[in-house]
Amino acid sequence: MYNRNNNNIGNFTGTIDQFLNHCSTLNVDEIEKRITEENNENNIIDNFDIINVQQLNEEIEKEILDVLILQQLKAEIDMLIEQGLVELAGKDEFGNDVYKNTDLGNSILNESKKKKNLGKRNNKKDK
């Protein structure tokens, strides 16, 4: 009349009177305990799914941000190449492009450093 599977869930096969008789012998406390356990399990699963979605969203946001930063960096490097300030020097061990300053880039960098140092000396004199 009552066939159970591995999860202790079963199907009742029989008459209505047999089913009512079966229900009258059930332990109500045990049934309520089982319902509470199942609800707790479902809440844990639901919360786990929410946590996973939040974590996934954070990971996706980070990946998108990384892509945007790389795109911006690539655009900046392309601009520096067009201006003749840097050039491709080769590849690193991971296959990434490696750049170096051109002679023009070095001369502008050196001029900038001189002006910066000169400004520091003038500020010290003023104090």
What lies within 8 Å, CB to CB, of 9 at 6+ separation is none
Instruction: State whether 75 and 122 are in the same domain.
Output: yes
Q: Tell me which residue of 33, 34, 12 sits closest to 23, measured CA to CA.
A: 12
Per DSSP, helices labelled H in the chain are: 16-24, 28-82, 103-126
Instruction: State whether 77 and 120 are in the same domain.
Output: yes
Q: Which residue reads 């002006």 in tokens?
A: 115
Domain of 84, CATH number, reads 1.10.10
Judge whether 30 lies within some domain: yes
Q: pTM to 2 decimals? A: 0.47
DSSP state of 85: S
Instruction: State whether 81 and 27 are in the same domain.
Output: no
Number of domains, the chain: 2
Judge whether 95 lies within some domain: yes
Q: What is the full per-residue pLDDT of the chain (127 aa) written as tens digits?
A: 555 555 556 676 778 778 777 777 877 788 888 888 887 777 776 666 666 677 778 888 888 888 888 899 999 999 999 999 999 999 999 998 999 999 999 999 899 888 887 766 666 655 5
Q: Which residue range forms the structural domain that includes residue 90?
A: 66-127
